[in-house]
Amino acid sequence: MMKRSKKAALVLMVPVATLLLAGCGEEREQAMVFTDPSECSAAALNSAAQCEADYAAAQALHPQVAPKYLNKQECEVDFGAGNCETAPQQTTSGGSVFMPMMMGYLAGQMMNRGGANLQQPAAAGAGAGTNVPTQPLYKSRDDRATFRTATNTPVAGGIGPISLKPSQVKPQVGQVVRRGGFGAQAASRNSFGG
């Protein structure tokens, strides 16, 4: 007879295993990382208008997905002094909420795929975007070289083309985190895009 705690552990493992298996067959797709739209335009992979649109989309998503902190000091411990700002959200008592500043963005839409370093995804036709969602990127205090999503997934060590599985970078609503929530995880990870 199996003990109750072992049954609970097995029940909890099933959804995790299902999620892991679901991502196994997923194709990696190309995307680009930039700090601003001028880098995107200079890369000549997208029109200037598309570069501005991707940047604006990432900026619009930033307050929704960025991790939130109840005080600025906790945010700066994870993201560095001067790298946090007041979020548009407030606590239920009307207090301020803080979030890291956007340090770059992941451009999932690459309309002009004339770049030599980019490969056309097999399922996408000419002029089609990828399934990689455009979103803001952040840098932790402990690892200033690595761009990370709001869920702390490392995606790139600098600007330029990357290859990743879209499910790994799906934006989620930002939650209030405590000190060590983002930064502690950042220090323990060292690979990009899985």
Chain segment 50-82, per-residue pLDDT in tens: 999 999 999 999 999 999 999 999 999 999 999
Which residues partner with 132 through β-bridges? none
**Residue whose tokens read 């930002």:** 174
Distances (CA, A) of 74 to 83, 151, 192: 11, 17, 26
3-state helix, strand, coil in the chain (%, to 5): 35, 25, 45
pLDDT of residue 25: 79
d(CA 8, CA 14): 10
Contacts with 146 (C-beta within 8 Å, 6 or more apart), sequence order:
139, 140, 154, 156, 157, 186, 192
**Residue whose tokens read 């990370």:** 148
Is residue 111 within 8 Å of 31, Cβ to Cβ? no
Instruction: Determine how β-strand 104-107 pairs with β-strand 135-140.
Output: antiparallel
Residue 171 has pLDDT above 80, yes or no: yes
Neighbours of 123 (CB within 10 A): 10
Query: 1-18, pLDDT tens digit by residue?
Result: 555 545 544 444 444 454
d(CA 146, CA 85): 20
Query: 85-100, pLDDT tens digit by residue?
Result: 999 999 999 999 999 9
Is residue 189 within 8 Å of 154, Cβ to Cβ? yes
